[in-house]
Structures are given as C-alpha cells and as structure tokens.
Amino acid sequence: MNILDKFRYSKDDPSQLNISLKKDPYDKVNNNTSSNLNQLLSTSVKVSKEIFPKIDLAIEKVFERLKIKNNLNFFVTANHLQVQASCSAMPLGDSAEIILTSKLIELLNEEELQSVIAHEIAHFYYQHALYPNANSTKNRVEILNLLNFSRAAEISADRIGFIGCGSLEASLRAMLKITSGLDEKHLKFNFSTYLDQLRELKEIKGDQNLMYSTHPNFLNRMQALIWFSMSNEYNDHFDTGKKGTFDLKTVDDKIYDSIKKVIGDEVEYSNKEVVSRALMWGSIEVFLSDKKFSKKEQEIFKKNFGDKSTESIISLIKISNPESIQKKIINTFDEASKLLNKDKEKIINELSKLIKVVDGDKKIAETTLNKIKTSLKI
C-alpha cells in the first residue's frame, strides 16, 4: 500500500457512492485528450526545467516524496488576482493538467508551493473528478451528501499536501497565505491563535452556510492537519521519533465532529429522516406483500414505529386504494436511493429481519425485499 492509499481520510470513501473508479488512476480507459489541454497550451506556459527551473524542481521533489510517477502536465497561467491551483482531469483518462496561477507562485515559498502541488496531485490520484457534482441534482439530501464528500476529499488532499512538502508548518502557512492573500510581511504564523478563532466560531454555533460549501473552512483544515500529524500511524510511518497521541481512526472521527460543529447537524438529521421513512414504508411493503396486514404484523409495526404511526397507517390502508399506497412507497425509495450505501445497507438489513416474522408467504416477502433493493440502487 502506498502513502496516498494509506493516509486517505476515511470519510472520503468512494465505495459509499454509486460510481466506478479505476483500480489504478494511471490506467487509460479512453484515448480522449482533455479539452482543457488545447486551451492551456495556447494561453498558459507549460512548466519545464528550462523555463521554470524552481517550479520544476519543486514538482520533482513532491513526486519523490510521494513515490508515484509523474504523468501530469503543469501550467502557469497569468492571474494576479486569484491565489489558486486546480486539477483538470479527464474522468477516465490517465493524466491531468495542474494549473498554478502567477499570484500563487509569487505568494508562496518553495515548501509552501510543494504543499499545494501535492494537494492537487492527490485530487488526481484519488480520482475525485469522478465524484458526482452537487450541482447535478436537485434532491436536497443528495446535494448535502455530495457536498459532505467534497469536503472530505479536501481533507484527504490536504494530508497529501503535508506529506508531499514534508513540513506541517509549510502546509499551514500555505493555507493562511491563500486564505488571506497576504505574505509573511503582514502575517504572524501563531497557529494556536488561529485555532482560538475556530473555538470562537464553534461557541457561536458555527456557520451553517458552510453546509453548502465544497470545502471545509480553513480553520477546520488547519486543525485537521495538526491532528493528523499527531496520529500514531503518521509518526510510525515516517519515523519522526515522536510518539503519536491518537490512532488514525480517532483522528478521523475528531475531524468529522469538528467540521460538524461548524456546519451543523443538518446532513446527519436529513439522512436519518430519510432512513426512518424508508424503514417505515419498507415495512409496510413487506407486510402487505400478501395483501394483508395481520394483527401480529401490526403489533410488530407498533413496536418499531409507535402507536400514532400505526394508527395512521391502518387508517390510510382502509381509505386508500393500493395504487396510491404504492406510489407513496415508490416516492419514498426514490428519495432513499440518494443516500450513501451504508444507509441503504442499514435499511435492507433492518427490513430483512421482517422476513422471519411475516404472517404471509415468506418467498413473496423476499421477492418484495429484492424489489426494494433494486429501488435503492444497491
């Protein structure tokens, strides 16, 4: 297992999305050239040893530290307003273009630039370009989950930025310079003071607008890197001579909770509501697979969902035709299909328990459960 695979942030887990990643990011699936490459070759300057010796050396050092091959094109583009770097990758290609603005290069020293370069390389290696874009859907639950994934992707890339430059301080300085647009003439790098600002933000209940951001705020990102540097796994792997304070799982959980304190609980709350509705209507579909809702099944339903929900469902069954109930079930599972795979699996696991207790034909109930799996896109 290489460095990038070993230290990927655990919440950045593409297996939770219905997407297919290449086993090796360098595998070429198609022969298409990035449409961006033509434009970059005509409007920007390609990095080479002859033209940008310092930048080229910084890139070389990063790939040496990460121990992966350089199959990427690097460009410098004239932009004296934005401190920016980006990775433009064909979803199924074997290479990418990494674009650095002139303002970024002017602002950062060599170590800091290495951190940014490694961060963008990580986006290519982890195939983040294959993640669905939150703008591609109008479903609120799906939007919130995809934005959560986008933020997790940044935490993964930040770690590789740190490893790629070999300096925690350089990575933190790069974040502060990029956020403020200022250099060391104006900034003091007293990192504990910046974390005081994060504590203040949490005390006033955070900023829920960040729930709709593709990136965690810079304070969360700084804290996440510091915690990562304190992990047993990081210190053991790089033989720092220091003893770690936390295992990596604990670090990942702390990072997730810290970001949640800033953006709020809405993502988790929305997911739980959808799971709860899917379990309730899924139970109804399983129980009604034989066209009956027996007293025994009603008691099981009451135990799981309470008296009020049970009374409402019984009344609905009495006054509604089967088609309207089925429509409600279809709509519920269409919404639930936008959940992460772990939540879909939870729904199926819970509904599977009902097969043993249904009064009707268990084979029919199993067929119904399989239909639910299809609806959930598992």
User: Average pLDDT of 132-158?
Assistant: 95
The pLDDT mean for the chain works out to 93
Measure the CA–CA gap between 120 and 19, rounded to whole angstroms.
21
Asked if pLDDT for residue 252 goes beyond 80, the answer is yes
Q: CA of 62: how far to CAs of 94, 114, 351, 361, in Å?
A: 19, 6, 49, 62
User: Average pLDDT of 322-351?
Assistant: 95
> Residue 32's pLDDT is what?
58
Q: Look at the block and give the residue holding tokens 């010796």.
A: 53
pLDDT 10s digits, 151-185: 999 999 999 999 999 999 999 999 999 999 999 99
Q: Which residues contact 192 (CB under 8 A, 6 or more apart)?
A: none
User: Average pLDDT of 71-75?
Assistant: 93
CA 130-134-137 angle, 5° bins: 105
9 and 248 Cβ atoms separated by less than 8 Å:
no
Asked if pLDDT for residue 281 goes beyond 90, the answer is yes
Measure the CA–CA gap between 376 and 199, rounded to whole angstroms.
40
Indicate the SS3 state at residue 65: helix
Closest listed residue to residue 228, CA positions, set 258, 208, 207: 258
Q: If pLDDT is split at 50, 70 and 90, which confidence band does 208 have?
A: confident
Which of 55-59, 99-103, 134-138, 163-167 has the least mean pLDDT?
Answer: 134-138
Asked if pLDDT for residue 360 goes beyond 80, the answer is yes
> Residue 35's pLDDT is what?
63
Q: CA of 221: how far to CAs of 115, 116, 215, 353, in Å?
A: 13, 13, 9, 41
| pLDDT: which is higher, 167 or 208 | 167
> Residue 190's pLDDT is what?
86
> Residue 94's pLDDT is what?
67
Whole-model pTM over 0.85:
yes
> Residue 34's pLDDT is what?
59
Here the tokens at position 198 are: 């994060």
Asked if pLDDT for residue 346 goes beyond 60, the answer is yes
Asked if pLDDT for residue 103 goes beyond 90, the answer is yes
Asked if pLDDT for residue 70 goes beyond 60, the answer is yes
User: Average pLDDT of 256-271?
Assistant: 94
Computed over its alpha carbons, how large is the radius of gyration of the chain? 25
CA 356-359-360 angle, 5° bins: 100
Q: If pLDDT is split at 50, 70 and 90, which confidence band does 93 have?
A: low
The β-bridge relationship of strands 73-77 and 45-46 is antiparallel
Measure the CA–CA gap between 318 and 328, rounded to whole angstroms.
15
Cβ burial 169-200 (10 Å sphere, 16+ → b, else e)? ebbbbbbbbbeeeeeeeeeeeebeebeeebee
Asked if pLDDT for residue 147 goes beyond 90, the answer is yes
Q: Look at the block and give the residue holding tokens 């955070």.
A: 206
Q: What residue ranges in the chain does DSSP mark as E strands?
A: 45-46, 73-77, 85-89, 96-101
CA 178-183-185 angle, 5° bins: 160
Asked if pLDDT for residue 91 goes beyond 90, the answer is no
| pLDDT: which is higher, 134 or 378 | 134
Asked if pLDDT for residue 216 goes beyond 90, the answer is yes
Closest listed residue to residue 54, CA positions, set 3, 120, 117: 117
> Residue 90's pLDDT is what?
66
> Residue 194's pLDDT is what?
84
Provide the angle, in degrees to the nearest 10, between the axes of the packed helices 191-203 and 218-229.
Answer: 120
337 and 373 Cβ atoms separated by less than 8 Å:
no
Residue percentage of the chain with pLDDT more than 70? 97
Measure the CA–CA gap between 137 and 210, rounded to whole angstroms.
19
